Amino acid sequence: MTRWSLARGAIGHRGAELAPDGFFAVVHEGMHQPGWRTAMLSHMRLAMRLGRPRAENFLTEAELRGIAAPVLMIWGDEDPYGGPEIGRRAATLIPDAHLQVIPGRHAPFLDDPERCGALICELLGERP
């Protein structure tokens, strides 16, 4: 049930097909812990208002410019929680930011784990 529920939502069908069974076992187990529903509803109320991200959750331009660490954003081109334009805005303001938009939804590491791994290794100066 969890695999196909997530396929219809956050991770999409490709991510659901590629993810190992263990991933869904962990998600399923987490969803059945005491307090999970309350915590998730609280999280969603803090993140969203009327189906849209809350404006107060966005970092200001000054806050983004103040990030001193290298930043790699790997963004699914069909992320249901916010499109790549959010990452593009941040990447233009953060001094050492890189945005990679790849086919996928909210969990691009499930859609294309090899590419995500290679991008992370490249950022860290390692070989994949």
Percent of the chain with pLDDT over 90: 59
For 14-48, what is each residue's pLDDT tens digit? Answer: 888 888 889 889 988 999 999 999 999 998 888 87
DSSP notation for the chain? -HHHHHHHTTSHHHHHHHS-HHHHHHHHHHHTSTTHHHHHHHHHHHHEETTEE-GGGSPPHHHHHT--S-EEEEEETT-TT--HHHHHHHHHHSTTEEEEEESSSS-HHHH-HHHHHHHHHHHHT---
pLDDT of residue 81: 84
Average pLDDT over residues 112-121: 95
Mean pLDDT for the stretch of residues 73-82:
92
Most confident region among 36-45, 51-60, 69-78 by mean pLDDT = 69-78
CATH superfamily label, 2-124: Alpha/Beta hydrolase fold, catalytic domain (3.40.50.1820)
Q: What is the pLDDT of residue 18?
A: 87
Q: State residue 128's pLDDT score.
A: 60
Q: What is the pLDDT of residues 94-110, one digit of tens each?
A: 999 999 999 999 999 99
Domain boundaries in the chain? 2-124
The rounded percent of the chain whose pLDDT value lies above 70 is: 98
